Amino acid sequence: MELQNTVKEALNALYHHPDDAVRMQADRWLQDFQHTIDAWQVADNLLHDATSNLETLIFCSQTLRSKVQRDVEELPSEAVRGLQDSLNTLLKKFHKGPPKVRTQISIAVAALAVHISAEDWGGGGIVNWLRDEMNSHPEFVPGFLELLTVLPEEVFNYKIAARPERRRQFEKELTSQMEVALSTLTACLHINELKEQVLEAFASWLRLKHRIPGSVLASHPLVLTALSSLHSEILSEASVNVISELIHYSAAGSSGGATVNMPLIQVIVPQIMSLKAHLTDSSKDEEDVKAIARLFADMGDSYVELIATGSDESMLIVHALLEVASHPEYDIASMTFNFWHSLQVILTKRDSYISFGNEASAEAERSRRLQVFRSAYESLVSLVSFRVQYPQDYQDLSLEDLKEFKHTRYDLACCSSSTLTESVMLIAVADVLIDAASVLGGDATLKILYIKFVEGVACCGNKHNEWRPAEAALFCIRAISTYVSVVEAEVMPQVMALLPKLPQQPQLLQTVCLTIGAYSKWFDAASSDPSILASVLSILTSGMSTSEDTAAAAALAFRHICDDCRKKLCGYLDGLYNVYRTAVNGEGSLKVSAEDSLHLVEALSMVITELPQVDAKKALEMLCLPVVTPLQEIINQGPEILQKKHPRDLTVHIDRFAYIFRYVNHPEAVADAIQRLWPIFKAIFDIRAWDMRTMESLCRACKYAVRTSKRFMGITIGAILEEIQGLYQQHQQPCFLYLSSEVIKIFGSDPSCASYLHNLIEALFKRTTCLLTSIEEFTSRPDVADDCFLLASRCIRYCPQLFIPSSVFPSLVDCSMIGITVQHRRRILICKG
């Protein structure tokens, strides 16, 4: 009794005490109490206590439910029977509510049924027991109906701590009692006020793998009731749930698929199709329209293979789905997006036509179907393209709303964002356009979008200077870029001719820049007019000067253009270099961030790659000049200043060298450059060896220099190896080991480097094996362990003649045996080796 009073006091404090600290303390105490064995009896007593208030009833019903789900095994077997009787009494006591309490008690009874055998319910299982109870006590039917609803749901509730074998047995028990459950629900249909609850229970039972023939369900009273409820003045949510489950069931392979369940499908489809007019009925409640749209979307998703045949009947469904896609509310229209994708896959994949025998027949059927659905996908392009338009009040959008808008435009294929809605990947507008382009062809889709773009450009010139329609159309054109032919000569020249005429509005300019980048291959293949590239570069330069977002887009597009049009751009090198130098030096009005400037470094590097060797060497010197100058200035200020500099002040420049050495594919020129730069690199190595971030950046630059230059490195490679093996003795930076593994990979088999490499192997492994003498040291130095065994595996592969006879090899094997218990791929490899 004392503990019961304590629970009541804690609940009163939790809900009513003015002090936050007291409420938090009460909450913690109550949570701890729920995990005690005393919670069984206290919760049960308070639920039976007529004086308990609503807060107490809700808490105790939740407590009892969670205890039954996870802690039944802590009760003695004789107590379980008493618990079963008590729960049955409570289910009757709360048959009229409160609803939250009744639900928790129902779930507790269902969870108990998972734990105990069918014999404990009188031999016939819980469903037969429930039927008998409802016949004997009709006044308690509402409470029993809720139990009948949650029973099949508990089959899939893994919060219940039941053994797998018992869970499977429970599912079989319920499935075997399916007819009893449905007949019990059918008997309750005459109680009008319970009809909604009966249908919800029916929907719940349909989720079981019941294997009831479609021909039986087609005429079942519960199905007919659900179908008739679709036409009631107030749409029944439960009836929608039932029809949705029936759609899924009728198409599921486990039930025999659509062919076997055709009698059921033939009953369902006409009833849903009769609701089409409601989609455009402005007097209809939005939630009702959403429910109807959901049925059409479910029908499309489930019957897509039937629809893909292109029959007259299936096209009626397609036209209805276009109605859904045209709805002004994005949440409703987007319900169809998955269907359009699935249909596109079936129409375009050749595997879909294997049943047609020879290749000629299959191709003829494929062409026929693509032609049948052509007009539908053309309409779809027009319907969805406006949805990517910036809202009128976009400047006032919160960060969350802006993020949601971007999700509408993009999905994983277009950017790094993704979202899940009801466990299904949101397929956004960009993907729908790609689906359409897959069916129609990129060039045909482009023509539709070009009309929208021209209309948008006209809006830019009106008195409101409305830029949003043009930006939306251009975004769509960009989305299908990979599907447009690189030699398309009818529409693309006109699109590109319009770009310089657009206003310099930031969001529009950002999309212009990204579109230019997306069509970089088209510029290379289709453009023979040098003025077009000059115009494009001018637009990108404007983008770099407008805002940080436009600058980021322009820098990315600049890289794409230089990559794909590198040969044509060799004649523009001076102009490209001026843009690069201004951005890297932070001069003028350019707003390119340090991170985005790496796109420009990569861009110029790829163009220089196309130059002859003599010209490339001079161009590389010019490319390095804006990068080396600030580093040289820091070093000239003396070791003390270099020591105190923030890592970012150094790595921002060193990372640019890494990009240069990586993308300038002129081995001799890069080797000459690294030789000239080595004094600067050595100064940073010597003074900043303690700084992991700077060392990683510097080793990365050296790595790419080694990869590109290979055997042209000459004496510089010896200087690098001597430097890092000396520094590693005092500063055990993992990147020193990684850089060494790259050197071994390139020079391991070169006899002229044998002396350097032998000394390197001895020095690095001798020091590393002293660092990794216990499992704790492996755990505390994971990066050292990783790079040590990467280096070892490369030594075994590329210079075993130096590594295996070395004095450090036995020590390394011993080290491997210490670390073998630590889950790590590299150590497993070396132990196998």
pLDDT tens-place string over residues 215-265: 899 999 999 999 998 887 776 788 999 999 999 989 887 777 888 889 999
The pLDDT value given to residue 769: 92
Residue 93, burial from CB neighbour count under 10 angstroms (0-12, 13-18, 19+): middle
Whether 592 contacts 583, CB under 8 Å: yes
Whether 154 contacts 107, CB under 8 Å: yes
pLDDT tens-place string over residues 30-42: 999 999 999 989 9
Q: How confident is the model at residue 823 (pLDDT cuts 50, 70, 90)?
A: low
493 to each of 512, 523, 529, 564, 807, how far by Cα in Å?
Answer: 14, 10, 11, 18, 68
Task: At 358, give phi and psi (nearest 5°).
Answer: -70, 165
Q: pTM higher than 0.75, yes or no? A: yes
**Residues 88-101, mean pLDDT to the nearest whole number:** 89
pLDDT tens-place string over residues 505-530: 999 999 999 999 999 999 998 766 67
Please compute, for residue 336, the number of CA atoms within 13 A of its CA located in the half-sphere on the CB side.
Answer: 27
**Distance of alpha carbon 243 from alpha carbon 299, whole angstroms:** 10
Q: How confident is the model at residue 410 (pLDDT cuts 50, 70, 90)?
A: low
Asked if pLDDT for residue 802 goes beyond 50, the answer is yes
The pLDDT value given to residue 122: 79
**Residues 744-759, mean pLDDT to the nearest whole number:** 89
**Distance of alpha carbon 643 from alpha carbon 688, whole angstroms:** 6
Asked if pLDDT for residue 799 goes beyond 70, the answer is yes
In a domain, 496, yes or no: no
Whether 69 contacts 30, CB under 8 Å: no
The pLDDT value given to residue 499: 94
pLDDT tens-place string over residues 156-194: 888 888 788 888 888 888 888 889 999 999 999 888 888
| Strand, coil or helix: 236 | coil
**Distance of alpha carbon 569 from alpha carbon 610, whole angstroms:** 9
Domain housing 217: 183-273
Q: Cis omega before residue 98 (within 30°)?
A: yes
Question: Looking at 7-16, 404-413, 564-573, which range is the least confident one?
Answer: 404-413
**Count: domains in the chain:** 1
The pLDDT value given to residue 282: 83
Higher pLDDT, 420 or 803: 803
Q: How confident is the model at residue 406 (pLDDT cuts 50, 70, 90)?
A: low
The pLDDT value given to residue 190: 86
The pLDDT value given to residue 417: 32
Task: At 421, give phi and psi (nearest 5°).
Answer: -125, 115
Residue 416, burial from CB neighbour count under 10 angstroms (0-12, 13-18, 19+): exposed
Distance of CA 311 to the CA centre of its chain: 36
Hey, what's the torsion of the CAs at 80, 86, 92, 94, to 10 degrees? -110
In a domain, 642, yes or no: no
Residue showing tokens 């009757």: 92
What is the DSSP annotation of 71-99? Answer: HGGGS-HHHHHHHHHHHHHHHHHTTT--H
- What is the 8-class DSSP label of residue 233? S
The widest CA-to-CA distance across the chain, in whole angstroms, is 100
Asked if pLDDT for residue 824 goes beyond 60, the answer is no
In a domain, 221, yes or no: yes
Asked if pLDDT for residue 574 goes beyond 50, the answer is yes
Residue 602, burial from CB neighbour count under 10 angstroms (0-12, 13-18, 19+): buried
**Distance of alpha carbon 796 from alpha carbon 818, whole angstroms:** 20
In a domain, 66, yes or no: no
In a domain, 203, yes or no: yes
The pLDDT value given to residue 404: 67
In a domain, 29, yes or no: no
pLDDT tens-place string over residues 142-157: 889 999 999 998 888 8
The pLDDT value given to residue 449: 97
Listed ranges 130-139, 418-427, 726-735, 818-827; the one with the highest mean pLDDT: 726-735
Q: How confident is the model at residue 826 (pLDDT cuts 50, 70, 90)?
A: very low
How big is the chain, counted in residues? 833
Q: How confident is the model at residue 639 (pLDDT cuts 50, 70, 90)?
A: very high
Asked if pLDDT for residue 28 goes beyond 90, the answer is yes
Which strand (E) or helix (H) includes residue 583? helix 573-585
**Distance of alpha carbon 402 from alpha carbon 393, whole angstroms:** 11
Q: Which amino acid is at 784?
A: V
pLDDT tens-place string over residues 462-502: 666 789 999 999 999 999 999 999 999 999 999 999 999 99
The pLDDT value given to residue 682: 96
The pLDDT value given to residue 833: 42
Whether 537 contacts 577, CB under 8 Å: no
**Residues 700-708, mean pLDDT to the nearest whole number:** 96
Torsion sign over Cα 343, 349, 355, 357:
positive
Higher pLDDT, 743 or 820: 743
Mean of the per-residue pLDDT values of the chain: 89
In a domain, 187, yes or no: yes
pLDDT tens-place string over residues 345-386: 999 998 888 888 888 999 999 999 999 999 999 999 999 988
Task: At 586, give phi and psi (nearest 5°).
Answer: 70, 30
In a domain, 190, yes or no: yes
Asked if pLDDT for residue 426 goes beyond 80, the answer is no
| Strand, coil or helix: 420 | strand
Q: How confident is the model at residue 696 (pLDDT cuts 50, 70, 90)?
A: very high
The pLDDT value given to residue 253: 76
